[in-house]
Structure 1
Amino acid sequence: MEPFRQSAALSLGVELELQLVNTHDFDLAPYADEMLHLMARHKVPGSVVPEMTSSMIEISTGVCTSIAQVLEQLTVTRDALVQCADKLNIAVVGGGTHPFQQWHEQRIYDRPRFRQLSELYGYLSKQFTIFGQHVHIGCPAADAALLMLHRMSRYIPHFIALSASSPYVQGQDTQFDSARLNSVFAFPMSGRAPFTLSWDQFGEFFAKTTRTGVVKSMKDFYWDIRPKPEYGTVEIRVFDTPLTVERATALAGFVQALGAWFLEEQPFMPQEDDYMVYTYNRFQACRFGLEAVYVEPATGEHMPLREHIVQTAERIRGHAEALGAGQEVAMLAEDAFAARNDARWLRETQARERLLAEVVRQASLRFRGRRA
């Protein structure tokens, strides 16, 4: 395992996996190669790369110190994507799943790693045509990264419910706010990281798993949160891709403010017992979104998740304001209080339009910064 590289505490990096759809029926369209070719002519921050299937594309920021930088970089890349998509008569859309695509119609993108994963996982690889947001937060040292990881794990339900945008799968309302994560959970190396607060012990765990041949690198772990030693970060992977870059930025601000609270106040020490309620809390958030029940790991108290989100936002408000994320964290708290997320918007739009293709069309307008 490579050594953990030091990075600036609370620095940010954001990745967004995005849908490419045609503009006649708004189904997924295999235009990743054409988009990458056109995007190569644009000077954008971060990177633009292919993903598992050819109707997906991933954008990322560079290393950012503030969410103002995150928003600026995502906006520049978004605008370039929209311009390229218009030339190809396709559209770019957020959301954690495409509402009515058929997984068996998808094509694996022609890269060695994607071909290897397809051979290993079979049909699961095409079912991995799902779209998430990943947030990297910088950590000054390896042990500090593990402490950050396990503290953040208490807030996995908050991240899921606030970002949930995948209620529809293959034309059906799944009754989940985040059905996307059900596809992730099918992979054998998904779930939670092992509980250790020592990088040496984590290295021993990694050595054991590689010795068995189960994994070859850190990329083979599909954990909800994982350390990224080559970047010096902790990577949170449970967010559905939001419908707008503004909401993606707000979620990154929430992560950064939580990280500042952890570093500056050391509010609690994570315990192995925290994970006794982890799977239950995660399921509740996926299924019910902001209407979920949250079990406080330390006390076992049951409370509405949205109340816990509002309380958390108030607790970290000073840190959010100091980082320039005060408005964004307050907006997420207001949405939690009102039980508003992108899954709700998608359902309300479908109830009004009664046509999922029209829902995707309107979602594509939201992504480009316009109202339907």
Structure 2
Amino acid sequence: MSLQDFTTSESLTIGVELELQLISTHDHDLIPQAQDLLRETARHTGAWDIKPEITRSMIEIGTSIQREHGPLVAELRDMRDQLVRAARRLNIEIAGGGTHAFQHWSEQQIYPGERFHYISDLYGYLAKQFTVFGQHVHVGCPNGDDALWLLHALSRYVPHFIALSASSPFVQGHDTGFDSARLNSVFAFPLSGRAPFVRSWDEFGAYFDKMTATGVVQSMKDFYWDIRPKPEYGTIELRVCDTPLTVEKAAALACYLQAICRYLIEERPFEPVEDDYLVYTYNRFQACRFGLQGDIVNPQTKARGKLRDDIVRTLARVETHAVDLKSWEACQLLRESLGEGNDAQWLRRQRAQDAQLSEVVEAAARRWTQSPPAAR
């Protein structure tokens, strides 16, 4: 199987995908009602998309192609509102968050579908442990060479998105000590982590051909990289974010990525080199473990600093680009969140109030539902 041509896409367009939890109103555990919810939302209004995920207690929603923060957040709110109304008819709740606080992987059910059964057969129990919930952001690129350049340039900013979006401190009833424990489930897959350092689409095609010849890879879907090219869409896809607890945070993260991409493309502050990856795994671990309090090492200067400070500096660098993209408000939301803490800290604060984990999940579902409604 050969790699398909990279579809031409408008530069800096964005699309957001969110994996969401389906929760019982009775005990606030996950509930396997994805098929029911998909039937209930089959005639939804809007250009957005809803589809199943690997287990029956989760769904994925995806926006249409967007260019600006205002229309993006409006569409996400509309998606949220329609989903919540449909879920209420089924007596279930919807929530964000990178993990469910106390579900057990052994109780999850694989969604009936050829691709999902293939993954289950191949990866065994890891498939059910993959009942975790992430946000993916697509950024449009005009060609494959530009996409790969941008993919590698963004490697320095991956810890930003892990720390800002982190919302998975609890796993199977325990505080893991991580702000983003979700990514530990992703890292268990053999084709996860970073993409290989190739700089042209022709080089990437040769790599893809070698991988498919081994039988290890059948399609691009088999790569679980932190950032991967999506040639059929003409995008690169950032995959490290936990699903936030609100759609407003999801929109802000997408627009922050868009602003960074414009800054990188227009100012070319550095050229990505393979040595950028020397500290990549360390920086990523720090963001997962400690969130905004983690350390980050600059791969070029070798200087060590705090991740929160690096985000502050980056927000300042991209501010004019955010203004031009009409996403200043989104970046301001993230700037304010640096003082409030990420969603993992919010969840821990709920737990610190002597709440049962079921009450923490209930609070997360309420937070998802009660953020500002879509305009009518």
TM category, shorter? over 0.9
- Taking the aligned partners of 1:236 and 1:42, their CA distance within structure 2 comes to 27
Residue in structure 2 matching 1:100, options 99, 102, 108: 102
Indicate yes or no: 2:191 matched with 1:225.
Answer: no
- Taking the aligned partners of 1:330 and 1:234, their CA distance within structure 2 comes to 25
Partner of 1:356: 357
- Taking the aligned partners of 1:297 and 1:19, their CA distance within structure 2 comes to 36
Partner of 1:163: 165
SS at match of 2:21: strand
Residue in structure 1 matching 2:203, options 183, 190, 201: 201
- Taking the aligned partners of 2:47 and 2:129, their CA distance within structure 1 comes to 30
- Taking the aligned partners of 1:369 and 1:258, their CA distance within structure 2 comes to 30
How far residue 335 of structure 1 moved from its aligned partner, in angstroms, is: 2.1
1:30-50 superposed Cα distances (whole Å, 9 cap, x missing partner): 010000001012223221000
Decide whether the 8 Å contact of 1:250 with 1:328 is kept in 2: yes
Matches within 5 A, 1:266-305: 266-305=268-307
- Taking the aligned partners of 1:339 and 1:304, their CA distance within structure 2 comes to 16
- Taking the aligned partners of 1:315 and 1:44, their CA distance within structure 2 comes to 35
The residue type paired with residue 145 of structure 2 is D
SS at match of 1:92: strand
Identity across aligned pairs (percent)? Answer: 57
Decide whether the 8 Å contact of 1:353 with 1:359 is kept in 2: no
Decide whether the 8 Å contact of 1:274 with 1:298 is kept in 2: yes
Partner of 1:366: 367
SS at match of 1:83: helix
Decide whether the 8 Å contact of 2:227 with 2:239 is kept in 1: yes
The residue type paired with residue 142 of structure 2 is P
Residue in structure 1 matching 2:321, options 319, 322, 346: 319
- Taking the aligned partners of 2:71 and 2:227, their CA distance within structure 1 comes to 23
- Taking the aligned partners of 2:334 and 2:79, their CA distance within structure 1 comes to 24
- Taking the aligned partners of 1:72 and 1:111, their CA distance within structure 2 comes to 32
Residue in structure 1 matching 2:143, options 141, 144, 154: 141
How far residue 153 of structure 1 moved from its aligned partner, in angstroms, is: 1.0
Indicate yes or no: 2:327 matched with 1:306.
Answer: no
Indicate yes or no: 2:256 matched with 1:254.
Answer: yes
1:90-139 superposed Cα distances (whole Å, 9 cap, x missing partner): 10000000000011000000000000100000000000000000000000
Cα RMSD for the two superposed structures: 1.0
1:9-62 superposed Cα distances (whole Å, 9 cap, x missing partner): 000010000000001110000010000001012223221000000000000001
Partner of 1:181: 183
Decide whether the 8 Å contact of 1:53 with 1:108 is kept in 2: yes
- Taking the aligned partners of 2:4 and 2:74, their CA distance within structure 1 comes to 32
- Taking the aligned partners of 2:92 and 2:333, their CA distance within structure 1 comes to 31
SS at match of 1:243: coil
Indicate yes or no: 2:368 matched with 1:346.
Answer: no
- Taking the aligned partners of 1:171 and 1:311, their CA distance within structure 2 comes to 37
SS at match of 1:368: helix
Return 5+ residue gaps in structure 2 as ranges: none
Matches within 5 A, 1:14-163: 14-163=16-165
- Taking the aligned partners of 2:281 and 2:331, their CA distance within structure 1 comes to 25
SS at match of 1:15: strand
SS at match of 2:353: helix
Decide whether the 8 Å contact of 1:158 with 1:305 is kept in 2: yes
How far residue 370 of structure 1 moved from its aligned partner, in angstroms, is: 4.8
The residue type paired with residue 284 of structure 1 is Q
Decide whether the 8 Å contact of 1:290 with 1:339 is kept in 2: no
SS at match of 2:299: coil
- Taking the aligned partners of 1:370 and 1:306, their CA distance within structure 2 comes to 25
How far residue 358 of structure 1 moved from its aligned partner, in angstroms, is: 0.7
How far residue 332 of structure 1 moved from its aligned partner, in angstroms, is: 1.1
- Taking the aligned partners of 1:67 and 1:39, their CA distance within structure 2 comes to 25
Residue-pair matches, total = 370
1:328-353 superposed Cα distances (whole Å, 9 cap, x missing partner): 112212322x2610000000011114
The residue type paired with residue 93 of structure 1 is A
SS at match of 1:124: helix
SS at match of 1:226: strand
SS at match of 1:365: helix
